[in-house]
Amino acid sequence: MNLSLRARLTLWFCLVMAISLAVFSVLTYGSVSNELTSNLDVSLKNVISSLDVIIRKRAEQTKEAGEKPAPPPPVPHKKGSKSNDLAFLSKDSLAADSTIKTAIKPLKTELAAQKQDQKVDAVWTAIYEHIILNPRNFMIQVMDTNGTIVYRSDNLGKDSLHLPGSFITTAQDSTVQFISVDQPIRGKDGTQRLRIALARSRSAYIVAGYQVDEVQSLLDQFFSTLILLAPAVLLLSMVGGWFLAKTTLHPVDEITRTAQDITASNLSRRLPIPKSNDEIGRLSETLNDMISRLESSFERIRQFTADASHELRTPLTILTGELELALRTRKSPEDYQDVLSSALQEVLRLSHVVESLLLLSRTDMGQISLIKEPTDLTETLEEVADAATILGTQKNIYISFRHSQALFIEADRAKLYQMFLNLVDNAIKYTPEGGMISIAVHPDGEFAEIRVRDTGIGINPEHRKKIFDRFYRVDKARSRELGGAGLGLSIVQWIVQIHGGTIAVESEPGQGSTFIVRLPLLIEEPVTPPDDPGAQKQKGRAAAFELPRLLKRSRGGR
């Protein structure tokens, strides 16, 4: 089942809320249960502390007044029982003594001391003892040191609190210990759960108990409240999550509708950008940048297609016309030779354009592999200068080469030779007869800087940024006359970039041009054996491959 993003976000939000509510409810229920049990223990401890204080004070008052102790309560005493200090705890004395009635309630001073000792929150304890607990439900039982019961609270009647023998024997002076027991209910089937506190006084065991069922009923009510509230909270979360997802994804719907309307014919349109600087806004800006790049790419493709068609159509038209003219009339062998020579020049020009286009296409697709190795840049430029001298002889152009030291770079030697030869050949084309071309190289920090300067016609400022574009020519008529297709400098730029370098041009109309190439130097110069046959063979092959073709036809052009 395919759900929309809005529905998935809502379901995930509800799932997270359900898990959060479950964890919160479990933790809250456990915390409240522990807090109630802890505070019940504190209350039981306060009751025992109050009874202990009352028993001690009554014993002291009886001894000081010399009063005869009241008769013992009608409960069997074991032989040898020591209950003299507890004789005043008869039913009659308890009923007549108003101070004893406070035994079932914590004394304020004792309560405060216990709170301070136990570090119990005062507000919570007060709420717990005076609202949740009923003081009349405390069950009090006092036993002498032999375990004989000398006093029971009224709510116990004739029953007694049943305590395990091991629990009584482990009681220590002034230390309250706790246990939960199941107490049978007189006249009823079943038992009741009691929380029992026991402490040993000087001459008595003081026991206080409270029904856990009352505390448990509060926990049950709290649990029922959580169960009832959870569905309502989940329902509100679902509605709120759906509304939140709808509001958040509304800009996405607008972006989707606009993107569906954008085609190759209207790439100038842009996606709406929300005013808030959030993820959707950044996504819109990124997509708009991508559309801008696509528009620029489509424009270059259209321009490239138009220029390539024009470059291919012109020589084909000339070639077709000359061949048709040669077939219509009879010509002398010399005339046929001229026609074939002209046709060959156009074929070579077509071959050059197609070869350059194929090279650039393969570079765009990353299908050209380079063989980079440590290369003596100075030596390569010297070979280029020698080849340029041969090319410049036809126009009486002087070629000079200046260098200060041997410089090594990591490069594909054949491509490097082709790049510099294209630059020099381009300079020769646009330099008038009797001009001068200089090639200079020197280190500049971590780079080698190569300058190819001519005294030609120069380039206007508006054309400098475009001369590296494919099929771009400053003077199209002159470039076509010189055999240029506007691809030479594009190839030069590509070769410079794949070697990690940069290329720039400085030029003024009528004052010539200077092409500046910067290539990264090797940190350490390679050690090569003298008269390396492999290196000499590679250099000779590169020169032999490029120079005859340049002598046959010109390459590149502005």
Assess if CATH 1.10.287.130 describes domain 279-363. Answer: yes
The CATH homologous superfamily of the domain defined by 370-552: Histidine kinase-like ATPase, C-terminal domain (3.30.565.10)
Yes or no: say if 422 and 460 are a contact pair by the CB < 8 Å rule. Answer: no
DSSP sequence for 133-184: S-GGG-EEEEEETTS-EEEE-GGGTT------HHHHHT--BT--EEEEEEEE
Q: Indicate the residue type of 16.
A: V
Among 554, 489, 486, 550, CA closest to 312 = 486
CA atoms within 13 A on the CB side of 93: 19
Q: How far apart are CA 503 and CA 517, in angstroms?
A: 5
Please tell me the predicted confidence (pLDDT) of residue 230.
Answer: 86
Please tell me the predicted confidence (pLDDT) of residue 448.
Answer: 92
Please tell me the predicted confidence (pLDDT) of residue 70.
Answer: 46
Sign of the Cα pseudo-torsion (428, 430, 434, 435, in order): negative
Intra-chain end-to-end CA distance of the chain, in Å? 61
Q: Could you tell me the residue ranges of all domains in the chain?
A: 5-220, 279-363, 370-552
pLDDT tens for each residue of 212-263: 887 888 888 888 888 888 888 888 888 888 888 888 778 888 888 888 888 7
Please tell me the predicted confidence (pLDDT) of residue 92.
Answer: 42
- Residue 437, C-beta contacts closer than 8 angstroms, at least 6 positions apart: 388, 392, 397, 398, 399, 400, 424, 427, 428, 431, 452, 453, 454, 455
Among 502, 494, 495, 476, CA closest to 558 = 476
- Ranges under pLDDT 70 in the chain: 1, 65-136, 173-174, 185-189, 304, 307, 310-311, 360, 363-367, 470-486, 524-558
Please tell me the predicted confidence (pLDDT) of residue 193.
Answer: 85
Q: Indicate the residue type of 35.
A: E
159 burial via Cβ count (<10 Å: 0-12, 13-18, 19+): middle
Beta-strand runs (E) in 8-153: 139-144, 149-152
Q: Indicate the residue type of 15.
A: L
- Residue 448: helix, strand or coil by DSSP? strand
Residue 115 CA: distances (Å) to CA of 55, 107, 249, 468: 22, 12, 55, 87
Please tell me the predicted confidence (pLDDT) of residue 491.
Answer: 81
Yes or no: say if 404 and 432 are a contact pair by the CB < 8 Å rule. Answer: no
Among 392, 385, 482, CA closest to 436 = 392
Please tell me the predicted confidence (pLDDT) of residue 37.
Answer: 85
